[in-house]
Structure 1
Amino acid sequence: MKQGAQGSAERDVDGAVGAARVPPQMRAADVSRPRGETGTAVRGEHTHSEVPIPRPVVQRASVRGQVLDALRTALVAGELRPGEVYSAPALGERFGVSATPVREAMQQLTLEGAVEVVPNRGFRVVERGARELAELAEVRSLIEVPVMLRLARTVPVERWAELRPLAEATVRAAASGCRATYAESDRAFHRAVLLLSGNEQLVQIAEDLHRRSQWPLVGAPAARAGRADLIADAAEHTALLDALIARDLDVVRGLVGEHFVGAGS
């Protein structure tokens, strides 16, 4: 890591985010290009008679989005540790991109409450305790339990059956022991269930709360749940789906409430 402007207190991230790498094609897309593109010839370039090809306007957003995904994965996996400060240039060097998309992605994580800005140093991963996790579980329960009970009464059985592959995917992800992989499949299942409500605002709010509940707690080495806990949590998805198909409201209510305080939440 570079020293000087970044400050001696800044941590070297080599080995801290080793598993969260940005694809090579993204690195190439992040290389700066001369000003004057999108139809304007740049000095020294061949023009001849060829038609200028404008740079895709989504390229920058694509880089930022991939960096954001990589950072979220590193957070869930515990590779970005609570309380530690990480700089955009150092992370950019690790990912093989410039500091700009990293800084933009970190600003988004700041809005989500995952990190906080440390002036002239970078971004500190927010330290979270068991109380915050319990509060998130309570809010999710207040939002999602009534919705799932309503869906259990109204959604046709065949629609629930269509979600079976997603529930089974969480079981496979849990068996892999990779918390980041499980977290992604866990969110996909819950999102699919809530989408049946037809309320996109509800889905977005619930997913934000869900993502927050997956961040590691302070003091946890890499993840607060082991492989066995993830497998048990995934099994609740298939049990919940069975209860929804059977329209067993008592079982649905109990499973959803318990699931929010489980390993995967």
Structure 2
Amino acid sequence: MSGPVAADKPSTGLRRHSLREDAADAIRAQIVSGELRPQTLYAIGRVAEQLQVSITPVREALLDLAKEGLIEMVRNRGFRIRVLTDAELDQTLQIRLMLEVGAVREITAQGLIDDFAALRDLSDRAQKAAEAGDWVGLVGIDRELHLMLLGYLGNPRLVDIVGQLRDQARLYGFDGIAGSQRLLASTREHDELLDAIEAGRTEDAAQLMSRHLKHARGIWAGMAEGRSAD
């Protein structure tokens, strides 16, 4: 494994305060990016060494991540990254549809976004990452875009919940997605969504968000079919 992953972490290790939270953030980032992969048993001591902290805050962080459903602890051995089932992924999509479609409807109806520059920039970066087959980069950009958009509703708990749901969905797997034309098409849907929001087309925006989330679920399903055919 490489050094601390989170962008705000210094290369010399994690900050001394809030080590438990910092360790959780760093490990979560490694999970979402695919650096830590399912089916591999990881030793807590090795992770602590890589993060340059003691074992205690790392163990506490892992317990928090286990509660989030991101990992499973293996008694006296370490931990593994969880793998979502199809049913769990469908349940995650259902919850995201309930939360994000309604949020976009409210954001559009109330005209809560007065400057789309940052969102447009993220949309452009997502497309470029997809074109380049940069899956790890795309994961972070796409996450930032969606959570920034939801943030305009002014409900940080909503942002946290959706962020956790997105992180859990990434546990489904990574192989076979990067470079997919369906993935590129999905990133281009961001522009359509932002156009509808900026124009105040409330129902169009809500429908576009619903379609976008369902298309993303379809990409994961297609990837699973490809894996089973190998």
TM-score normalised by length of structure 2: 0.77
Matched, 1:205 2:161: yes
Matched, 1:237 2:219: no
Q: CA deviation at 1:241?
A: 0.3
1:118: which partner in 2? Answer: 74
Is the 1:174–1:234 contact (alpha carbons within 8 Å) kept by the matching residues of 2? Answer: yes
Is the 1:88–1:103 contact (alpha carbons within 8 Å) kept by the matching residues of 2? Answer: yes
| Aligned partner (choices 21, 44, 47) of residue 91 of structure 1 | 47
Amino acid at match of 1:102: V
Q: CA deviation at 1:161?
A: 4.9
Q: CA deviation at 1:240?
A: 0.7
Amino acid at match of 2:209: V
| Aligned partner (choices 222, 225, 228) of residue 177 of structure 2 | 225
Q: CA deviation at 1:132?
A: 1.2
1:258: which partner in 2? Answer: 211
| Aligned partner (choices 124, 134, 145) of residue 189 of structure 1 | 145
Measured on the aligned residues, the alpha-carbon RMSD in Å equals 2.9
| Aligned partner (choices 6, 9, 18) of residue 61 of structure 1 | 18
Amino acid at match of 2:205: V
Tell me the SS of whatever aligns to 1:163.
helix
1:22: which partner in 2? Answer: 4
- Per-residue deviation, residues 48-87 of structure 1 (Å, max 9, x unmatched): xxxxxxxxxx51435861x434422332343433243211
- Per-residue deviation, residues 165-206 of structure 1 (Å, max 9, x unmatched): 222232233334232321211121112211111222222222
Is the 1:177–1:230 contact (alpha carbons within 8 Å) kept by the matching residues of 2? Answer: no
For residues 71-82 of structure 1, what are the structure 2 equivalents within 5 Å?
A: 71-82=27-38
Is the 1:92–1:98 contact (alpha carbons within 8 Å) kept by the matching residues of 2? Answer: yes
| Aligned partner (choices 91, 94, 98) of residue 138 of structure 1 | 94
Q: CA deviation at 1:114?
A: 0.5
* CA–CA distance in structure 2, aligned partners of residues 148 and 98 of structure 1: 42
**What percentage of aligned pairs have identical amino acids?**
29
- Per-residue deviation, residues 239-258 of structure 1 (Å, max 9, x unmatched): 11011112233432332112
Larger Rg: 1
Change (3 A) 1:224 1:98: farther
Change (3 A) 1:135 1:87: same
Tell me the SS of whatever aligns to 2:80.
strand
Is the 1:76–1:223 contact (alpha carbons within 8 Å) kept by the matching residues of 2? Answer: no
Change (3 A) 1:253 1:194: same
* CA–CA distance in structure 2, aligned partners of residues 235 and 126 of structure 1: 30
* CA–CA distance in structure 1, aligned partners of residues 125 and 20 of structure 2: 28
Count, aligned residues: 213
Higher helix share: 2
Is the 2:119–2:145 contact (alpha carbons within 8 Å) kept by the matching residues of 1? Answer: yes
Tell me the SS of whatever aligns to 1:165.
helix
- Could you list the runs of 5+ residues in structure 2 that have no partner in the other structure? 221-230
Is the 1:29–1:63 contact (alpha carbons within 8 Å) kept by the matching residues of 2? Answer: no
Amino acid at match of 1:173: A
Q: CA deviation at 1:141?
A: 0.4
Change (3 A) 1:60 1:26: farther
